[in-house]
């Protein structure tokens, strides 16, 4: 698992408030179907910005950017986010 993915999973575990264990989710699993509310998704975005020291541009602030771990990883890569030093 890449450190970026580890970082995403730690943010989801803390902020997505899913009724399932984040460790059981595949990278392509739909986070909204897994129970992430739009309210929780904003907290996930804020925590990702803090952890990876990036800002999501408005063009990325839409549902499908955050619909799976893979989708989040893709946009983080696109934004040149560096993996957090302490994972």
Partner 1 sequence: MPEPTRSDLVERVGAIARDVAAAAADDVDAAARFPIETFDALRAAGLLSVLLPESLGGEGATLADVAPAVTELGRACASSGMVYAMHLIQLACLTRHASSPALATFARRVADEQLLLASATTEAGVGGDVRTSLCAVTTEDDRYRLEKQASVISYGEQADAVFTTARRTPDSPASDQVLVVCTDPGLSLEANGDWDTLGFRGTCSLGFLLVSTGDAELVFEAPYSDISSHTMLPTSHLLWTSVWLGIATEATDRARRFVQAAARKTPGVTPPSALRLAELVAVLQQLTELVGGGLRRYGEIADDPDATSSMGFAVAMNTLKVTAALLVVEIVGKALLICGIAGYRQGSPFSMGRLLRDAYGAAVMVNNDRINANSAQLLLIQREL
The residues of the shown chain that bind partner 1, judged by CB under 8 A, are: 18-19, 32-39, 42, 45-46, 49, 55-58, 61-64
Q: How far is CA 37 from CA 2, 4, 8, 21, 43, in A?
A: 26, 23, 17, 16, 10
Q: Smaller CB distance to partner 1: residue 14 or 87?
A: 14
**By C-beta, is 35 or 87 nearer to partner 1?**
35
Coil, strand or helix: which one is 3? helix
CB of 57 or CB of 87, closer to partner 1: 57
Nearest distance, CB of residue 24 and partner 1, angstroms = 14
Whole-number Å distance between alpha carbons of 62 and 82? 22
């Amino acid at each position: 698992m890449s450190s970026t993915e580890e970082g995403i999973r730690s943010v989801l575990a803390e902020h997505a408030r899913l009724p399932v264990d984040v460790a059981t989710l595949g990278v392509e699993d739909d986070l909204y179907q897994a129970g992430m509310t739009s309210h929780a998704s904003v907290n996930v975005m804020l925590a990702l910005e803090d952890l990876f020291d990036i800002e999501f541009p408005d063009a990325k602030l839409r549902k499908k950017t955050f619909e799976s771990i893979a989708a989040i990883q893709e946009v983080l890569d696109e934004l040149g986010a560096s993996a957090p030093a302490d994972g």
